[in-house]
Chains A and B, each alone.
Chain A
């Protein structure tokens, strides 16, 4: 049953490798926006450190949103999605493979880049571990939830803005728990609570999101 999963994962990673330029976009976006913050706000380290957890999380969220729009777009346009919907394999697993590929090429690089940007925003030392752990799980949740919105809007000509309207409310818990884990750690509190909730969010969206996305894709194919 897993061969459809592996085939799609391998193909999506190969495609990502072919279109390297597009893959770098969210990471570059993340980088550029974080560079703009000190210019617009203040170069003062103490004040930057205060807002760094929130800024880093908001930017990671926007970067993820930016990239999730294209998750099913090319597959829809060239007919691959139709072939997937009518293939004898469970759509749930194939959707999950696409989401995993998306996370590997956007969420994971964002997570790895975050400590560097945290340093540029003078994030206190205690914040790095919860930042990376939170983003590691959180970006996966963002990819999973974003896939639902991407599936619902893939057949629409101007889906981009609609996608952000649909997905933003769903993203809120991730932002709240992710940013507060970093903040609490900086303030010297335990971060087990928010990180545990983040893990629960991940488990929950792993169960629900691929089903909802598969349903959304079927609707889009019929439309």
Chain B
């Protein structure tokens, strides 16, 4: 049965200071899709993901969320979105619990899950109340990934989510992604890693050769 696409990228182009990074990107995502953006360094993966997060405006083209233009109905789109960039906003002087509490407050999350359970299931048991600056890079990553467990947003946009985490962490994150897709969620991520997830769609991002 053909599904209606939830998110459509309609010939997106991005230009920075008269230098065209990419153009004519057309994509669509349906419920249950996991999309991996591939490409060498500097090709614009992060830029594309930041456009999807609306942190950047595309130079041309538009985003459609459930058929409505994101530029016009930005609030509606943002309510359905979870974005984790390179720098995900983890406060170093706060503990993983405090960071998570803040995140849940600002996103108005009232799910009954307890903070300790969430952090414990990500292997941070015993580290919940230690300031983040005292944690390793991988543990900090895990503290960020805790947000994936409390969000109800159907669209996840993850920039290099596998950075710095160990094998067990990779497996945990893959399991999260699979569960998310099975619930009908969608994910767009950039990574150089081969994912252990069936039916991953791959999108090779190609640099634009032409100059303006």
Q: Which residues of A contact B (CB under 8 A)?
A: 3-4, 6-8, 10-11, 14-15, 18-19, 74-75, 77-83, 85-89, 221-222
Complex Cα distance A8/B102, Å? 8
Count how many chain B residues have C-beta atoms less than 8 Å from C-beta atoms of the other chain.
27
CB pair B106 A3 closer than 8 Å: yes
Q: Mark B40-59, 1 if CB is under 8 A from A, else 0.
A: 00000000000001111100
List the B side residues contacting A18 at CB < 8 Å: 93-94, 131
Complex Cα distance A221/B23, Å? 22
Interface centre among A7, A77, A83, A89 (most CB of B within 10 A): A83
CB pair B106 A8 closer than 8 Å: yes
CB pair B94 A14 closer than 8 Å: yes
Complex Cα distance A74/B86, Å? 15
CB pair A82 B79 closer than 8 Å: no
Complex Cα distance A78/B86, Å? 9
**Pick from B55, B105, B107: contact of A85, CB under 8 Å:** B55
- Chain A residue nearest in CB terms to B81: A86
Q: A7-B106, A18-B94, A222-B57 are in contact. Are A79 and B79 (CB under 8 A)?
A: no
In terms of DSSP, what is the predominant structure of the interface of chain A?
helix
Give chain A nearest CB distance to B132 CB in angstroms. 10
**Pick from B57, B78, B131: contact of A88, CB under 8 Å:** B78
List the B side residues contacting A78 at CB < 8 Å: 87, 89-92
- Chain B residue nearest in CB terms to A223: B16
**Pick from B81, B90, B106: contact of A4, CB under 8 Å:** B106
List the B side residues contacting A8 at CB < 8 Å: 106
Q: Which residues of B contact A (CB under 8 A)?
A: 53-57, 75, 78-79, 81, 83, 85-94, 98, 102, 105-108, 131
- Chain A residue nearest in CB terms to B131: A18
Count, A-B residue pairs, CB within 8 A = 68
List the A side residues contacting B88 at CB < 8 Å: 79, 83
- Chain B residue nearest in CB terms to A85: B55
List the B side residues contacting A222 at CB < 8 Å: 55-57
Q: A79-B87, A80-B89 are in contact. Are A86 and B98 (CB under 8 A)?
A: no
Give chain A nearest CB distance to B25 CB in angstroms. 19
List the A side residues contacting B86 at CB < 8 Å: 79
24 contacts between A and B (CB under 8 A): A3-B105, A4-B106, A7-B105, A7-B106, A10-B102, A11-B91, A15-B93, A74-B91, A77-B87, A78-B87, A79-B89, A80-B91, A82-B53, A82-B87, A82-B89, A86-B53, A86-B54, A86-B78, A86-B81, A86-B83, A87-B107, A88-B78, A221-B55, A222-B57
List the A side residues contacting B106 at CB < 8 Å: 3-4, 7-8, 87, 89
List the A side residues contacting B75 at CB < 8 Å: 88
List the A side residues contacting B79 at CB < 8 Å: 88
Give chain B nearest CB distance to A22 CB in angstroms. 10
Give chain A nearest CB distance to B62 CB in angstroms. 17
**Pick from A7, A10, A19, A82: contact of B85, CB under 8 Å:** A82
